[in-house]
A and B are shown apart, each in its own frame.
Chain A
Amino acid sequence: MDITLKVNGTERRLAVDVRTTLLDALREHLDLTGTKKGCDLGQCGACTVLMDGQRVLSCFTLAVAAEGTEITTIEGLAGEEDPLHPMQQAFLEQDAYQCGYCTPGQIMAAIACVHEGHANSDDEIREYMSGNLCRCGAYPKIVAAVRQAKPLMERA
């Protein structure tokens, strides 16, 4: 099927098998490999992207069903020459990862968590970030990164 996806502000045309998930369309068709495939079954959160500003799992979204929406991936947060997004900077400064594989999903989820107004306490951050697993166990530093980025995002 021929479809058009609007990803990071740019319309991209691609031909996909109807079974293709948004995750595979991003990674295999559009070379946007920042979005990670972890479990591919909605259990780990590594594939989290924003769709019309809401965080969703791209592994459970058919590419054909994503037509007409605005998709934001980790690559869309800051251009090559731009400063990093405050959440990316906070993850760097707080050392909020070890292997880094879950990090793009964590960052996309964390940005949405702040926008939703669900980052008002450590407990609330932990609850609303529970869909993103980190097998290296960087959770305390992820909470610290969200806490650091929140006021910067609110000021921006």
Chain B
Amino acid sequence: MRPFLYEQPASTPEAIGAAARHVPPHGEGRIQAPAQYLAGGTNLLDLMKIGVSHPPALINIGPLRAEHGAIEADASGLRLGALARMAEAAEHPAVLRDYPAIAQALRLAANQQLRNMASLAGNVLQRTRCNYFRDPSWHACNKREPGTGCAAMEGINRRLAVLGVSDHCIANYPGDLANALAALGAEVDLVAPDGTGRSIAFEDLHRLPGDTPHLETTLRPGELITRFRVPAGPWTRRSLYLKVRDRESFEFALASAAVALDIGGGVVRDARIGLGGLAAKPWRSREAEAVLKGRRLDEAAAGEAAEAAFRTAVTHGDNAFKPELGRRTLVRALLQAAEMEI
């Protein structure tokens, strides 16, 4: 691990001020690593130990939990503090009752030690587990070293993405919570180094790889996530997260589906669908949602929705099985959600 400056600010203004001091100079093709906020450290210290990430400064925002760690729910929706820990959100009564897809996405992720440490924002911002990204002995990785190529295209890519990929990167987004937040139309509250706040749609937080896979989010230098807001809706209670993986626990998804349904009079009034393990970023499938609207949710309708979700899938050999696994995962999730008693 390379040395770094360590700061432990006592307040949000101090934290964003520290980040602003460490923002590297702007310039064309700038790839110099900026300072990093440190929360749970479960992904950042991992990447620093294996030589993938080497921030010049760490700003420990763990002590700001009192300010940004609350979980609150009311008639307008759910507010998840960025520094709330995964384990806290997974077991919060309002999350369990009214947003089961979120509780399940969290409980099925990582293990209890990691969930006790990891912040929600850190979890959402976790990096891909593509082995070619994580192992610097592989020269070619456009995400780690822009312009070097992609060793995964013709490598072992069984776990990698089939949706949203580009000719430069097929890394998959590995997380779970983010797919539920994308499906449920969450918003992200941010504060910039100059102290101004803004909100963005959760779906706009992550970028598609395109020809700049090293740029993963739309966060501006030094910007801090303070909160996620999930709007209430008649679909949130009838929601679930289904995760398919190689082993039963402590494993990333090969395919997962976050679904939320508003069913009335026997037909789907509204559907929210997210997919995980399959895409380059947290994925919402409006194509699949559109198929279901106004339909009776039976196996045929679920199958058509799944077809629509994977119409643009691109495979690279080892991962050719993933569109079919993804379709079956989504069909099962939809049929299970339709049968939920709420």
Contact = CB atoms under 8 A, between A and B. Distances in A.
Interface of A: 1, 17-19, 21, 40-42, 45, 48, 54-57, 59-62, 64-65, 109, 112-113, 116, 118, 126-128, 130-131
B323 interface: no
B247 to A, nearest CB: 9
A42 B114 contact: yes
Contacts of A41: 46, 49-50
B113 A18 contact: no
Contact of B114 (A17, A18, A40, A57): A57
Interface in B97-122: 110-114, 116-117
Nearest to B58: A62
Contacts of A113: 112
B37 to A, nearest CB: 12
Interface of B: 1, 3-4, 6, 8, 38, 40-42, 45-46, 49-50, 58, 60, 62, 87, 110-114, 116-117, 248-250
A127 B38 CA distance: 28
Contacts of A131: 110-114, 250
8 contacts: A55-B112, A60-B42, A61-B41, A61-B45, A64-B8, A65-B41, A128-B111, A131-B113
B56 to A, nearest CB: 12
A140 to B, nearest CB: 16
Between B62, B113, B114, B249, the greatest number of chain A beta carbons within 10 A of the residue's beta carbon is seen for B113
Contacts of B112: 55, 109, 112-113, 116, 118, 128, 131
B163 to A, nearest CB: 27
Contacts of A128: 111-112
Contact of A65 (B3, B62, B111, B250): B62
Contacts of B42: 42, 57, 60
Contacts of A1: 6
B303 to A, nearest CB: 31
Contact of B46 (A17, A19, A42, A61): A42
Closest 10 CB pairs of A and B: A131-B111, A130-B249, A130-B250, A54-B116, A131-B113, A18-B6, A19-B1, A60-B45, A57-B113, A55-B113
A45 B49 CA distance: 17
Given A18-B4, A41-B50, A126-B249, A56 B116 contact: yes
Contacts of B58: 62
Contacts of A18: 3-4, 6
B111 A60 contact: no
Nearest to B2: A19
Given A1-B6, A62-B45, A65-B60, A45 B1 contact: no
A131 B46 CA distance: 16
Contacts of B113: 45, 48, 55-57, 109, 131
A59 B48 CA distance: 12
A24 B160 CA distance: 34
B223 to A, nearest CB: 22
Nearest to A133: B250
A62 B112 CA distance: 19
A25 to B, nearest CB: 14
A21 B42 CA distance: 12
Nearest to A105: B113
A36 to B, nearest CB: 14
Between A19, A21, A40, the greatest number of chain B beta carbons within 10 A of the residue's beta carbon is seen for A19
Contact of A62 (B41, B87, B249): B41
A127 B117 contact: no
Between A1, A45, A62, A109, the greatest number of chain B beta carbons within 10 A of the residue's beta carbon is seen for A62
Contacts of A56: 113, 116-117
Contacts of B248: 127, 130
Contacts of A126: 249
Contacts of A130: 111, 248-250
Contacts of A40: 49
A128 B91 CA distance: 13
Contact of A61 (B49, B87, B117, B249): B117
